[in-house]
Amino acid sequence: MINWNDILTYAKNGNLKPDTRLEKTNEEWKETLTKEQYRITREKGTERAGSGAFCQSYEEGVYSCTCCNSKLFDSSIKFSSSSGWPSFTQPYKLNSIAYIRDVTFGMERVEIVCSTCDAHLGHVFPDGPAPSGLRYCVNSESIQLIKD
């Protein structure tokens, strides 16, 4: 199980190698994504709190990347964080997510991206429930649910 110290280490020293990589040009991404998906995943945007399709959804399945379909989170570790964004406690696999130090807006945070295609997903924080204590705060536009 990954913990906050592991995340800080990855953000500082480099991430685990993904199983595969997908590289596309901005023009290619624009052809396959909606304008909102592109804004969030490729331009590091965010949704307005509480507006995402998966904020209050707790259907069973696996959440995958909107851009490349890589598995990112299992629905069994999704929880209500009252933050306004879908929240998870662990990635699907340790190398599913890459961690990047983010110092924008006068804050120090850890950005999370899909390790396969570098799609911006959101941020991770050390204020989640036990046992991991992690809260992966994810934009609904950056994920899709694959139902069991």
Quick one: pLDDT at residue 106?
76
Predicted pLDDT of residue 148: 74
Q: What is the mean pLDDT of residues 58-69?
A: 96
Does the pLDDT at position 19 exceed 90? yes
Predicted structure pTM score: 0.94
Q: Give the Cα-Cα-Cα angle 92, 30, 110 (nearest 5 degrees).
A: 40
Q: Is the pLDDT of residue 8 over 80?
A: yes
Contact between 8 and 110 under an 8 Å Cβ cutoff? The reply is yes
Q: How much of the chain, in percent, has pLDDT values that exceed 70?
A: 100
- Which domains, from first to last, does the chain contain? 4-147 (2.170.150.20)
Q: Tell me, what's the pLDDT at 54?
A: 92
Task: Tell me the average pLDDT across 71-85.
Answer: 93
pLDDT for residue 57 is more than 90: no
Catalytic residues: 137
End-to-end CA distance of the chain: 23
- Check if the beta carbon of residue 62 is closer than 8 Å to that of residue 74: yes
Q: Looking at the DSSP assignment, which residues form a beta bridge with residue 135?
A: 125
Please say if the pLDDT value at position 105 is more than 90. Answer: no
Q: What is the mean pLDDT of the chain?
A: 94
Mean pLDDT within 19-43:
97
